[in-house]
Chain A
Amino acid sequence: MRAAQNGDGAAYERLLREVTPFIRALVRRHCRQPSDVEETVQETLLTVHRVRQTYDPQRPFSPWLAAIASRRAIDGLRARLRIGRHESSELGVYETFADPAANNEVEGVRAAEEVTLLLRQLSPGQRQALESLKLREMSLAEASAESGQSIAALKVNAHRALKALRALFQEPKD
């Protein structure tokens, strides 16, 4: 370490490589996830680099290094606990519980699928009237021109389609 303080890069690289297993063993006392262990080992190495001026060559090296590793392991634990309180790594949770906006989106897709299935059960005339007037929001004249149905027939079909859909929605689902 004394050589590293003097700027000897080769000695520093050798030292860091030799102490990494020691740091890893210390960190494993605080966390078990291999990815967390490696992240903390790297944090420890970065901290050693930042505070290398605090090492006193007259004092033993291990307690100095162990104190840094323990501190970074504890900081890592705290950070993971803090993150764990607000975030979840389970993506499915967002779709059903955590994020209301995500739920709305999912529910919207489901509702659209359900309505599509029910629309198929209507007669072609009723379905066409409903799609033109309610879903595509066309005027009666535009819908009549497109479908070939009279305006009166469109009104009747749209009314019957809504009534039929209401009845289909109220039917118990298996």
Chain B
Amino acid sequence: MQTEQLIRSLAQDLTPVRPLRAPPLRALAWLAVVAAISALIVLRFSNLTVFAERMATPRTAMDWIATGITGFAAAWAAFELSIPGASPRWALLPLPSFIVWLCASGLGCLANGLGLQATGNPLGESRHCVVFILAASVPLALALFAMLRRARPIDPVPVAALGTLGVAATAAFLLQFFHPFDVTAIDLALHLAAIAVVVLIGLPLRRLLLRPA
């Protein structure tokens, strides 16, 4: 087909479209959906007294907040990068909070040690964290990618990577409501491993999840 013919056929097939909202607004809309569903689950199943006691420690609170910011920043960056012409530097948006998260958790690891159990399962309660992060990531990812795919990103790799990082970090953030003990080295390693698994599962599924143009 000649280019001229293509232009004519595209113009003939034209239907009105509603421009997508600004990426930060779309990220906030996703956050609102996540917050609404999570609030119901947290209020129903979490022991908020234990949670409040843990958050009384500034380091733990900083760890928790940095995890949440990392999740939101990664999702925001994914929305930005789904738009053609966005600066690739958006991919660095979650980095500062991620570093804070690692530092705060690292300090916790120094205080609490490796966290290996003397008997039974060497991973202790931390194995439940992996299950929680993987399971909670699924609905979060479905909501996020349903919104991201509307942009039909032309380069789906960074969008999928940051999107999955966003949902996994948000799942780790929500995990703290159900986490009855402070972070240990094994615990942190398993959290990070679970996040890596979510990203590694999401990347090969990017075409299915994002329907790139």
Contact = CB atoms under 8 A, between A and B. Distances in A.
Chain B interface size range: 20 to 34
Interface stretch (B10-18, B110-118, B201-209): B10-18
Interface stretch (A66-74, A132-140, A157-165): A66-74
A20 interface: yes
A101 B201 CA distance: 41
Contacts of A89: none
Q: Is the interface of A mostly helix, strand, loop or mixed?
A: helix
A54 B82 contact: yes
B120 interface: no
Interface in B132-156: 150-152, 154-155
Interface string B1-41: 10110111011111111111010000000000000000000
Interface in A59-107: 59, 63-68, 71-72
B84 interface: yes
A13 B3 CA distance: 12
B85 interface: yes
A32 B17 CA distance: 35
A145 B88 CA distance: 87
Nearest to A4: B14
Contacts of A154: none
A9 B150 contact: no
Given A5-B19, A6-B16, A51 B11 contact: no
A56 interface: yes
A46 interface: yes
A16 interface: yes
B3 A7 contact: no
A72 B155 CA distance: 10
B213 interface: yes
B100 interface: no
Contacts of A64: 83-85
A68 B11 contact: no
A57 interface: yes
Contacts of A4: 14
A67 B19 contact: no
A9 B150 CA distance: 22
A6 B85 CA distance: 22
A52 B15 CA distance: 10
Given A42-B1, A45-B6, A13 B154 contact: no
B17 A5 contact: yes
A10 interface: yes
A38 interface: yes
Interface string A1-39: 000111111101100110010000000000000000010
Contacts of A5: 16-19
A39 to B, nearest CB: 10
B151 A51 contact: yes
A54 B151 contact: yes
Interface of A: 4-10, 12-13, 16-17, 20, 38, 41-42, 45-47, 49-57, 59, 63-68, 71-72
Given A12-B11, A41-B3, A63-B85, 6 more contacts: A9-B11, A17-B4, A46-B10, A53-B150, A54-B84, A67-B84
In the A-B complex, the 9 residue pairs with the closest CB atoms: A7-B16, A13-B11, A67-B85, A50-B213, A67-B84, A53-B17, A63-B85, A64-B85, A9-B11
21 contacts: A5-B18, A5-B19, A7-B15, A8-B14, A12-B11, A12-B14, A13-B10, A16-B7, A16-B10, A16-B11, A41-B3, A45-B7, A51-B84, A54-B20, A54-B83, A54-B84, A54-B152, A56-B83, A64-B84, A67-B84, A71-B84
